[in-house]
Structure 1
């Protein structure tokens, strides 16, 4: 099991395939297993890099609080370890906010950004309430309940659910709480105009709650494409993997392989 020692913790990671590298970032509670279908399909064309954020899945508890800057620092160390100079940075849900922060602070190591069901801030009361409830559960140590709820909604089959649940419930309640808390208060909307690297924005057509977030990013980011996938809500990587993978391949081909 590949592990990387980082300051204050240990990071589990996985690499599959060759070619242009793509790093995938998962949201709180979930792990790199959420990108199972991206690993399987996209590794035929690219080098797919996944990892468990500190205190999640197979990665050990972090003595340092989980912040986006810490996660970005870990990604940079992982890329250096793999001798990767630049990569596409792809994030799902809260992981997509880390993509934006990465492009704002570490542009020289990014080929491009892939935002899946993402946001630059949390401004609607429903999402605030849902994340605040998750914080309370994590604070109470209810990791198994959180893992069951999140993995059940993000899985397609019972077999997939069991694997994702077993992996997710290994997470440390303290680090999960910190990740949720940072997500709740993060806001980079006023800095989006500074990102000039091409970004693809991918949302589910049924994810009505995130329409405003999608439109905000589409209006503020200088160089982006906005794609909606039919017959899916927020949980795109597992629910409509084929459509997502096709969009990612087309995006990379358009901006990088046809030049």
Structure 2
């Protein structure tokens, strides 16, 4: 177990493989385990870095409220700790919003990004209602129920479910609540044109409610390309791991300095 100590909080992280680094960024409640298939496959060619946000999984509770700028700063500290000057980013769902925040704040530390089922804002009624419900359920009394629902939806097998669920319920409901709550108000859409880095947008063709975000990002991000994965919904890292991994490999190799 690798631990990074940051101002009173301990962050769990994992590094596997050699080559160009890729940092993976998870959504609320989920942990680094959500990228288990990427860690296993991509570490054959790249340095794969995963970590648990403050108050998630094996990382300790944070007295500082969870915000995207705070997570981006933690990522910078992690890169400094590992001696990595620049990295590729791969953010899933709200993790993609954090990748955008990192590129806006620390553009000199990023090589590019793969945004999976991502968004720069939460502006449609359906998604706002879903996240608002998660905010209500992210409390000690109902966290296990929320963890069951989220991890079940992201699982492709009983084994994956067990791994994701056991990691999720280790998190602290207070920080998980803060992450969900912050995602409702985050909006960097008007700043997207300032990101001058190569970006691959990946969405499930059946994830129709997110197509508006896919088109918005494609329109606003000057260096972006858009890929839809057939027959898939939102949970691409686990349920379409093979195709996503191939897309990541091709993207990183294409933009390898």
Tell me, which stretches of 5 or more residues in structure 1 are unaligned? none
Structure 1 residue 46 corresponds to structure 2 residue 13: no
Matched ranges for 1:107-186 at <5 A: 107-139=107-139, 141-186=141-186
Deviations 1:144-187 (A, max 9, x none): 11111111110111111111111100110100010001111100
Residue 252 of structure 1 and its aligned partner are, at CA, apart by 1.1
What SS class does the counterpart of residue 126 from structure 1 fall into?
Answer: helix
Dislocated runs of 4+, deviation >2 Å: none
Q: Is the 1:143–1:171 contact (alpha carbons within 8 Å) kept by the matching residues of 2? A: no
Q: CA RMSD in A?
A: 0.9
Match of 1:217 in 2: 217
Deviations 1:4-42 (A, max 9, x none): 101231100000000000000000010000000000000
What SS class does the counterpart of residue 256 from structure 1 fall into?
Answer: coil
Q: Is the 1:37–1:241 contact (alpha carbons within 8 Å) kept by the matching residues of 2? A: yes
* Between 30-39 and 133-142, the greater mean CA deviation after superposition: 133-142
Q: Is the 1:122–1:187 contact (alpha carbons within 8 Å) kept by the matching residues of 2? A: yes
Match of 2:92 in 1: 92
Match of 1:29 in 2: 29
What SS class does the counterpart of residue 122 from structure 1 fall into?
Answer: coil
Tell me, which stretches of 5 or more residues in structure 2 are unaligned? none
CA distance in 2, matches of 1:212, 1:81: 38
TM-score (ref. length: structure 2): 0.98
Residue 72 of structure 1 and its aligned partner are, at CA, apart by 0.8
CA distance in 2, matches of 1:5, 1:227: 38
Residue 140 of structure 1 and its aligned partner are, at CA, apart by 5.8
Match of 1:240 in 2: 240
CA distance in 1, matches of 2:35, 2:146: 19
Count, aligned residues: 257
